[in-house]
Structure 1
Amino acid sequence: MPNPDFTQKLQDLAQKVGITSFKALSKAAGVSERQILRLRRGEVASLRVEVLLKLASVLQMSLSELVTTFASLELSKGNEASTQQMLQEIADLKTEYQRSQLQIAQQRELLLQEFQQSSLQLLESLLLQFPAAAQKARENPQFEAVKILPLVENPLKKLLQAWGIEAIAPVGSEVPYNPQIHQLIAGIVQPGELVKVRYSGYLQGDKLLYRAKVSSIEAG
């Protein structure tokens, strides 16, 4: 018996929610076009439950409606018991999928908490000492503000090192202009000519996070 073709049915359902092509449906649901093709062929049982959930959500259908609508003819007409069994299996898979999603969310929250805790440990001296030093500076205009700098610089250096982030060049240094890692904010220069670093840029390994802002030497 030839495979059933649910292409027209899927087109009609997609058009009801404003989707005019299978490619657009694939993009909207976040599933591959190959999985869309399986649905058009009535191969519901071969699709993962997360795929079915995504498609059902986009098509504004319940999971059971999606399954019964695109089940093969043998299941939908000739074998009601098999259909019910498949629906039960998918319902079980849905429950397991939701449980796994909850576990992932819990793990993500735990990782976030661990990340925040490790970051706070690196910034401990800044958090504990800087507010007191800043208040002392406000109360005593003669207090040398330069004494506060280590309270900020040292924790920041530790944090950047822990994350594998390094400055492109120190502020005030003169370096050859490289438009790939430098942003020219004043003057006119050619690649390779010396420029002065105004704001540090940062790299994380091979990834550019922020370009260093530079100006021509003549721009001061």
Structure 2
Amino acid sequence: MNQSFPINYAPQLQNLMQNANISTYRELSQKAGVSELQVIRLQRGLASRMRVDILLKISQALGITLTELLTNFAPELIKKLPATSTPLVEEKYNNLQKELEQHKKLLMQEFQQSSLQILESWLQQWPTVVQKAKQNPRLAAVKILPLLRPVEKLMEQWNVESIGNVGEEVPFDPQLHQLMDGSVQKGEMVKVRYTGCKQGNKLLFRAKVSPTI
């Protein structure tokens, strides 16, 4: 009974990594944006079973074409493919990546513009307020509070909520509260020193609290 062993392409991979100034498989995986397991699969001769997009990412991280990668790690696959198929796949993938990047930039620009529209009044008035405060240290802080309303409105649109109010006494919940000093049990009363924050069901940071006694 014949027993087959996986091919070891470690020397070829090490040589390509050295040319690309990459020291470890982990570094290659991070640069390519794939898991380290995918790099190991490539090294073990399993390129023909890997997704094309993953192979393309690895080839780009190594600074070679997809054709060169397959020639090194899946020569049997190259022989079966038409001469023009691999470059076409690579070109289509690169074009798709460019389209996605452009779409991402457009979405970010739209997001920034809508956010800036909400903050427009604050952006106009805040520098003047800062200058006035420097000129008059006795300026009451309460007069500045209305200017923060655009920021609060933006937080509301993003579904960002505060956890607790400063000075409020609430039952201690380790999921929502971070104890600053002392020790308390869950359910015991604590005072909120700094509010926490969450976005929907996602906790951004816990409120900082201290024992009431």
What TM-score comes out, normalization by structure 2 length? 0.76
Aligned length: 200
Alignment match of 2:105 (pick from 92, 109, 113): 109
Give yes or no for the alignment of 1:67 onto 2:70: yes
Alignment match of 2:168 (pick from 151, 170, 173): 173
Give yes or no for the alignment of 1:13 onto 2:12: yes
Amino acid at match of 1:122: I
Give yes or no for the alignment of 1:132 onto 2:128: yes
User: Which residue matches 2:187?
Assistant: 192
How far apart are residue 215 of structure 1 and its match? 0.9
Structure 1: stretches of 5+ with no match in the other structure: 77-81
CA contact (8 A) 1:176 1:194 kept: yes
Secondary structure of the residue aligned to 1:106 is helix
Cα pair distance change 1:25/1:131, threshold 3 Å: closer
Cα pair distance change 1:64/1:142, threshold 3 Å: closer
User: Which residue matches 2:55?
Assistant: 52
CA contact (8 A) 1:183 1:213 kept: yes
Cα pair distance change 1:190/1:208, threshold 3 Å: same
CA contact (8 A) 2:28 2:61 kept: no
Aligned partners of 2:94 and 2:5: how far apart in 1? 31
Structure 2: stretches of 5+ with no match in the other structure: 18-22
CA contact (8 A) 2:47 2:55 kept: no
User: Which residue matches 1:119?
Assistant: 115
Amino acid at match of 1:7: I
Give yes or no for the alignment of 1:40 onto 2:45: yes
State the identity %: 42
How far apart are residue 142 of structure 1 and its match? 5.0
How far apart are residue 40 of structure 1 and its match? 2.8
Aligned partners of 1:141 and 1:55: how far apart in 2? 59
CA contact (8 A) 1:202 1:209 kept: yes
Cα pair distance change 1:92/1:194, threshold 3 Å: same
User: Which residue matches 2:20?
Assistant: none
Aligned partners of 2:6 and 2:27: how far apart in 1? 15
Secondary structure of the residue aligned to 1:203 is strand
Secondary structure of the residue aligned to 2:117 is helix
Instruction: Indicate the structure (1 or 2) with the bigger Cα radius of gyration.
Output: 1
Alignment match of 1:205 (pick from 190, 193, 200): 200
Post-superposition Cα deviations, 1:163-203, rounded to whole Å, max 9, x if no partner, equal 11101111111111111110111333221111111111011
What TM-score comes out, normalization by structure 1 length? 0.74
How far apart are residue 94 of structure 1 and its match? 1.0
CA contact (8 A) 1:169 1:200 kept: yes
Cα pair distance change 1:5/1:179, threshold 3 Å: closer
CA contact (8 A) 1:195 1:215 kept: yes
Instruction: Kindly report the root-mean-square deviation, in angstroms, between the aligned alpha carbons of the 2 structures.
Output: 3.4
Aligned partners of 1:106 and 1:57: how far apart in 2? 19
Give yes or no for the alignment of 1:157 onto 2:132: no
Cα pair distance change 1:135/1:68, threshold 3 Å: closer
Cα pair distance change 1:36/1:26, threshold 3 Å: farther
How far apart are residue 26 of structure 1 and its match? 9.8
